[in-house]
Chains A and B, each alone.
Chain A
């Protein structure tokens, strides 16, 4: 359980980081909080030639309002995000979801953008970003581009980020008036990755439901306003559409059941708190 040899650079600037990525391509990995990358190194699941530690990059450490969104820089930890004073007001969905990420110790080191980059299909942050239709801000030495969350996650632990690109920030759209937000998660234990997690955003005009933990990436569907029976049918249809699979904790059928029940609860909660 020791990593293979690698080179290590503690980057002093975004430019230096991008230069290293341009040079090494997919032989390089960015090290931020290390909560996923370091175990993968120790398991020898990944063997990068170079680790670029971005922990020193102060200009990526901000959480700030950016028009109708909140922009979270690449070195912001999950704990810092959770402690951000504007969270409950601007991002009620995140205020509910962040406490379910791992444990206190993990959130202290784990970064918001790192979780997005890692793209675990059961993780809370990619799910929230998809539910809110947020964007990922990528930079390479040649260009900067924004990618919609739906277009970013391409499979389990897989994204459309190019090897020479880094995530400099992600943007979570702020609460919209008339909308209610709810998050529900079921995990085997407190702090575990979700077996199923559901985010719901509801308004008088309809609702958006996003599901994580089922399938290879978080997925969302948009529904018109529905009465209970029609909502149950719609959730059942969505549950089947997600192509759940069995593992030794849960069958596909069980996961579909959770989509139905957590979905029902999340929608009801989101409807209740439309503001």
Chain B
């Protein structure tokens, strides 16, 4: 038996989390106990997309029974300052609209009452004197000279513009026989977790500062943003997270302004304050992915080789550039060449503000927008050259012998074999059979199409990539930012028990299971013996700005740092065991709950006996040995440098690969899309738990299907919001989600400690465009807009309808008026 062979990692262990969740014993933020005297908050939100706030009269609301206080912009000005913004522009974003509301749903006042019912009753009694202003919701219209300006200090709505070039795009375009372009208007959508935002805030007497329990998920780079806004040292803002989460998918990043708001509320009331976001609030005001208008142009050789890409991206971040925006636009920056070997890139990035909800983290984060354009373009190139789309993809993929491969804009594709992934997907997924089905369907006159998508899935983002939005000069002035510190602590208790704590807030990935597998392998124990805690407390735990759960960093970075911490503990234990077993430390092995000599397994000790030594008998440690008690490891990917002066940036530490294809049929009468078959191939590096990985793919696929077919936050031209309930914003249900065929290959990452990469976001990037490519193939059209609702597809296939009858006579006797 060798301790080098990992035995728990890679097994499809059932989740240790599930028993409590299935029994209804989860401990979610709203379940956590509250201090005596806690008040409940209801937020008054702007009904206007754009309006001056001339005054607020809260006296009548304050006088209602059970109401304790009303928080307005005046309080916010007194105790906070505006949030730090990622670009240099004169604009202020406070946790509450102080003089102007800029989107429907923006918080304007907070009522604090003894219960939520009374707080909501009092909202109607708060009199706000609004002076409505013209609104703009379309990013292109927002650029016009006559457009209403959201932030007067900026002078317009364009808040950032940067141009980049890598290689020699101009020469490549001059030399290419063809230029092929596509314009994409990517809509707004969001992953809408089942649990909304929850904040419980308290202002402590004296100089103790604020204490907050919130289902915040990170990135903890926002902790300093909150502390600065509250005008307290970071140590005076203690933030704790609950054990369980009802999902986030990035969205809970957006609760940080509410943390600040509820801290102010608690300070004003002199009591703890609890706020639970409801679904109406969530849909109108929590967050959303960015909508983006992209024109992507390719220089293409006669053989279909793409020799240059020119990106023109107009990003719409809503009413405020809320931290960490403009991250959505820059998350993919190092890898704007996708899975392809193209060496010449030109990129124009503009960021515009409009009268819509601020944007933020959302599964896929920037990837869906990029890949929708890139992979639609590859399909259009195939149509234009009359080649098979898969052939176009194949001719352009990064070669298998090129890894690690440095992309023109700086991303380091750490490992991969895209050709093999494609070949195996085609064979195991049955592409030939699918083509036969398409041919047969078309012979019958049915509308059937096949789509493809090849996607590089980044994970473990570089904390410095956002600074690519700044010029090199601005970056020099501000100082370099880079890396992605992950942290984990592995500890031994006096009975030899092992516990793991990480600074990663779970959202359903199975932290307790995977971390137990990782620590068990390092220490020769059973996974069930390892206790994992995932609640985070900024006052006591090891954390850093990259802490939290986003950018698919759990398997690659967090589990990796737990592995390193467990190894460090094992090293110390091995030294202690070596002294007792009289063999060199290098020959000590851990397996089956025992520590033994490699050459003589009989010469062994129980793990628990050695593991307790540091507690019970530190005086007996061998000379020079340190007690094995608790090891904390901070790990940052060594490849994550700050952006250089050529604006090259390795925007993420690991890069997985996804290759999808599908067959769809569109019903002629109704325009309804039916997925006949969907195949998704993933290379996520080393797989830590295949069952959990499959869960990630399934969940990502379902949400991507929603984005492809149903989901859009719709605003009317005047700025009113039309998707305010789940009857207006449609999520796919189990009846709408078909079973995907999930395939894997594994090329371990040389960068991450366990060789693992992220896998949770790939389908958000690949699936919408794969389905759109299939629709394009079925209908023979190029201009496809998401979501592909039946009415839209029907309009594509039958633009004209029969006219009304010539005479307005009724065909029969109308029986109802």
What B residues does A192 contact at CB under 8 A? 727, 730
Judging by beta carbons under 8 Å apart, are B811 and A221 in contact? Answer: yes
Q: With A43-B280, A238-B811 in contact, is A189–B789 under 8 Å at CB? A: no
Residue from B279, B669, B670, B809 in contact with A1 in the complex, judged by beta carbons closer than 8 Å: B279
Asked whether, in the complex, the Cβ of A220 is within 8 Å of the Cβ of B816, the reply is yes
Which residues of chain B from 735 to 754 have a CB within 8 Å of any chain A CB? 735-736
List residues of chain A with CB within 8 A of the CB of B671.
Answer: 254
Decide yes or no whether A248 CB sits under 8 A from chain B: yes
Q: How many residues of B are in contact with the other chain, CB < 8 A?
A: 44
Nearest chain A CB to B104's CB is how many angstroms away?
15
The minimal Cβ–Cβ distance linking B713 to chain A, given in whole angstroms, is 10
Asked if B581 is an interface residue, CB under 8 A from chain A, the answer is no
Q: How many residues of A contact B (CB 8 A)?
A: 45
A133 to B121 Cα, complex, angstroms: 43
Asked if A190 and B733 sit within 8 Å, CB to CB, the answer is yes
A42 CB → nearest B CB, Å: 9
Query: When chains A and B are docked, how far (Å) is the Cα of A268 from the Cα of B330?
Result: 56
Are A260 and B802 in touch, CB under 8 angstroms? yes
Q: A1-B278, A241-B810 in contact; A191/B735 too (CB < 8 A)?
A: yes
The residues of B that contact A191 with a CB separation of less than 8 Å are: 733, 735
Given contacts A1-B278, A261-B669, contact A150 B815 (CB under 8 A): yes
Which of B728, B804, B815 is A237 in contact with, Cβ under 8 Å?
B804
Q: Is A222 an interface residue (CB 8 A)?
A: yes
Which residues on the B side are within 8 Å of A241 (C-beta)?
810, 814
Residues of B within 8 Å of A219, CB to CB, are 814-817
Q: Which residue of B lies closest to A219 (CB)?
A: B816
The complex places the Cα of A188 from the Cα of B805 at a distance, in Å, of: 29
Q: A5-B121, A222-B812, A240-B804 are in contact. Are A189 and B794 (CB under 8 A)?
A: no
Tell me, rounded to whole Å, the shortest Cβ–Cβ distance linking A115 to chain B: 16
CB–CB A189/B802 < 8 A = no
Residue of A nearest to B806 (CB): A237
Q: A188-B730, A191-B735 are in contact. Are A249 and B791 (CB under 8 A)?
A: yes
Q: Which residues of B contact A142 (CB under 8 A)?
A: none
Contacting pair A237 B811 (CB below 8 A)? yes
- By beta carbon, the residue of chain A nearest B730 is A188
Interface string of A241-272 (1 = CB under 8 A from B): 10000001111011011101100000000000
B121 near A222: Cβ-Cβ < 8 Å:
no
Residues of A within 8 A of B725 (CB): 43
Residues A130 and B805 in contact, CB atoms below 8 Å apart: no
- Asked if residues A189 and B670 are in contact (CB atoms below 8 Å), the reply is no
> Across the interface, which residues of B come within 8 angstroms of A217, CB to CB?
816
Q: B residues within 8 A CB of A257?
A: 669, 794, 798, 801
Task: Kindly list chain A residues whose C-beta atoms are within 8 Å of the C-beta of B732.
Answer: 189
Complex contact B730–A189 (CB within 8 A)? yes
Please indicate the chain A residues that have their CB under 8 angstroms from the CB of B116 in the complex.
Answer: 2
Inter-subunit contact B795/A254 (CB<8 Å)? yes
Contact with A along B716-735 (1 / 0, CB 8 A): 00000011010110101101
Please state if B801 and A233 are interface contacts (CB–CB under 8 Å): no
B801 and A253 form a contact (CB under 8 A): yes
State how many angstroms separate the Cβ of B448 from the closest Cβ of chain A. Answer: 19
B617 at the A interface (CB under 8 A) = no
- Least Cβ distance of A221 to chain B in Å? 5
**Inter-chain contacts of B670 with A (CB < 8 A):** 186, 258, 261
Does any Cβ of A come within 8 Å of B545's Cβ?
Answer: no
Give Cα A260–Cα B798 distance, bound, in whole angstroms. 14
Q: Using an 8 Å CB-CB cutoff, how does the interface string of A224-237 with B read, 1 for contact, 0 for none?
A: 10000000011011
Flag if A254 contacts B812 (CB, 8 Å): no
C-alpha gap A5/B113 in the complex (Å): 15
Give residues 761-817 of B contacting A (CB, 8 Å).
Answer: 789-791, 794-795, 798, 801-802, 804-805, 809-817
B714 beta carbon closer than 8 Å to chain A: yes
Q: Are A237 and B810 in contact (CB under 8 A)?
A: yes
Whether the pair B811, A189 counts as a contact (CB closer than 8 A) is no
**A4 in contact (CB, < 8 A):** yes
Provided the pairs A222-B815, A241-B810 are in contact, do residues A189 and B733 lie with their beta carbons within 8 angstroms? yes
Cβ < 8 Å to B, chain A residues 179-221: 186, 188-193, 208, 217-221
B816 touches A150 (CB 8 A): yes
B173 at the interface (CB under 8 A from A): no
Q: Do A249 and B815 have beta carbons less than 8 Å apart?
A: no
Choice from A4, A221, A251 contacting B814 with Cβ under 8 Å = A221
Min CB–CB distance A175 → chain B (angstroms): 19
Closest to A206 in B: B812
In whole angstroms, how far apart are the Cα atoms of A236 and B806 in the complex? 11
A193 to chain B, nearest CB (A): 8
The smallest C-beta distance from A190 to any residue of chain B, in angstroms, reads 4
Does the CB pair B815–A208 fall under 8 Å?
yes
- Tell yes or no: B616 within 8 A of A by CB: no
* A223: interface (CB < 8 Å): yes
Q: Is the CB of B812 within 8 A of A250?
A: no
Q: Is the CB of B120 within 8 A of A2?
A: yes
> If the complex has contacts A222-B812, A233-B811, A256-B801, are A189 and B795 also in contact, measured as CB distance less than 8 A?
no
Whole-angstrom distance between the alpha carbons of A72 and B347 in the complex?
67
13 more contacts with CB within 8 A, not counting A1-B278, A251-B795, are A1-B279, A5-B121, A188-B789, A219-B814, A220-B814, A233-B805, A234-B812, A236-B805, A248-B722, A249-B789, A257-B669, A257-B794, A258-B670
A-B contact pairs, 30 of them (CB 8 A): A1-B278, A1-B281, A2-B116, A3-B117, A4-B121, A5-B121, A130-B816, A150-B815, A150-B816, A186-B670, A186-B672, A188-B710, A189-B735, A218-B816, A219-B815, A220-B815, A222-B812, A223-B812, A224-B812, A234-B812, A237-B804, A237-B811, A240-B805, A248-B712, A248-B728, A249-B791, A251-B791, A254-B794, A257-B798, A260-B802
